[in-house]
Structure 1
């Protein structure tokens, strides 16, 4: 998923936060991959995987919206759907098993 695709999904039409969004995207990708496996051969499993892209989008969206430390609503570290995707990835990932 490119930065532009991510911004389109998040309905962001400015470039003020591009660096921050890219950082969140890179961090979300690593977070999800690390939660599934630490195998050095993992990248091919996640490439062209729409579920992975969706999980990254969910996580980046949540982190982007919750970046302010003082909010009225309770902060949730990991959005509900991302945890479900991670569990599915763990079940489907077979490298090194």
Structure 2
């Protein structure tokens, strides 16, 4: 869904030293969005615009706050972004 180049552009990273970290965080962000959104792979791809925004938001948060993240705050923000798409909420 989101390539390494797109992720680096979003994060405004222009060096290659963090490529492995960014790919790992991208996988983590996708998993978080699926978990918080209560989505399987089909629903995740069905709501691509919203899930893309949520994944990029989570990626940015995880990258910028990797030394002292607030996972509760991140989860609450993702819940707000994904509210209308969350399974069993509406």
Please report the TM-score for the alignment, with normalisation by the length of structure 1.
Answer: 0.72
- 1:25-36 residue pairs with structure 2 within 5 A? 25-36=26-37
2:50–2:82 Cα contact (<8 Å) kept: no
Which position in structure 1 is the counterpart of 2:70? Answer: 76
Deviation at 1:6, TM superposition (A): 1.1
Aligned-partner Cα distance in 2 for 1:68–1:55: 21
Which position in structure 2 is the counterpart of 1:72? Answer: none
In structure 2, the CA distance between the partners of 1:8 and 1:80, relative to structure 1 (3 Å rule), is farther
- Tell me the number of residue pairs that the alignment of Structure 1 and Structure 2 aligns: 84
Deviation at 1:36, TM superposition (A): 2.3
Structure 2 residue runs without a partner (length 5+): none
Please report the TM-score for the alignment, with normalisation by the length of structure 2.
Answer: 0.77
1:24–1:60 Cα contact (<8 Å) kept: yes
- 1:1-97 residue pairs with structure 2 within 5 A? 1-37=2-38, 42-47=40-45, 49-69=48-68, 75-77=69-71, 78=74, 81-90=77-86, 93=87
Structure in which a larger fraction of residues adopt helix:
2
Larger Rg: 1
1:28–1:56 Cα contact (<8 Å) kept: yes
Aligned-partner Cα distance in 2 for 1:63–1:79: 11
Q: Cα RMSD over matched residues?
A: 2.2
Structure 1 residue runs without a partner (length 5+): 70-74
